[in-house]
Amino acid sequence: MKQFSNLKSIKGFMDPDEGECLYRFSLEASKKGPILEIGSYCGKSTIYIGTACKENNSLLYAIDHHTGSEENQIGWEYHDEELFDSETGKINTFPEFRKNIRSFDLEKFVIPIVSDSVLVAKYWTINLSMVFIDGGHSEEAAFNDFDNWNDKIINNGFLAIHDVFPNPDDGGRPPYEIFLKAINSGKFKEYETVKSLKILKKIL
């Protein structure tokens, strides 16, 4: 899509086909209420979802501690030294995130929440039309995100999960395991798949 052609230069791990799928479902969902994203990194997926929210004058809450996952830290596979913060010894994606959101004119429609997703969930009372889970991929982080947020989605709303790899050779298991847990709960049905992005619809 033309409006996303500038996204190539933005740091991140969201494939354009997956991003456009997120945009499409966000466009439908955000007519009914705000959307929440867990795991923004530098804001690539946030821009796909946020652009849809902007079209419907809705909001995207974007939760990220902005200190990166384990695999983003120094010495790991997905480390980017441009994001390294020598003061903390960790990466800091927040300045880059804000710059990217600003460059797509989305500051009014994207509300960054720089905190821990489980703690935020504890006090969260706003019904959500869609939740996108792309936070930590450890078993603990992935299950925490699903367990604490899935009941905040409205009926007929969407749950999107990134990095779902049914074949273990393609990637880590926890996102796939929470996808299975969602289906087995009887509260969600599989709706669409684009590469490693799964879209589920809330049915209860």
Positions that interact with Mg ion (CB under 5 A): 13, 134, 162-163
Closer to Mg ion by CB, 162 or 201: give it. Answer: 162
Burial of 195 (0-12, 13-18, 19+ CB in 10 A): middle
Inter-residue contact 154 to 201 (CB < 8 Å): no
In Å, how far from its chain's centre is CA 159?
10
Give dist(CA 61, CA 129) in Å, integer: 12
Taking the complex as a whole, the smallest distance from the CB of residue 113 to Mg ion amounts, in Å, to: 18
Taking the complex as a whole, the smallest distance from the CB of residue 155 to Mg ion amounts, in Å, to: 27
Taking the complex as a whole, the smallest distance from the CB of residue 132 to Mg ion amounts, in Å, to: 10
Asked if 137 is an active-site residue, the reply is yes
Phi/psi of residue 90, each to 5°? Answer: -125, 175
Taking the complex as a whole, the smallest distance from the CB of residue 81 to Mg ion amounts, in Å, to: 20
**Residue of 65, 66, 79, 137 with catalytic role:** 137
Burial of 185 (0-12, 13-18, 19+ CB in 10 A): exposed
Give dist(CA 135, CA 128) in Å, integer: 17
Give dist(CA 159, CA 149) in Å, integer: 10
* Positions marked catalytic: 137
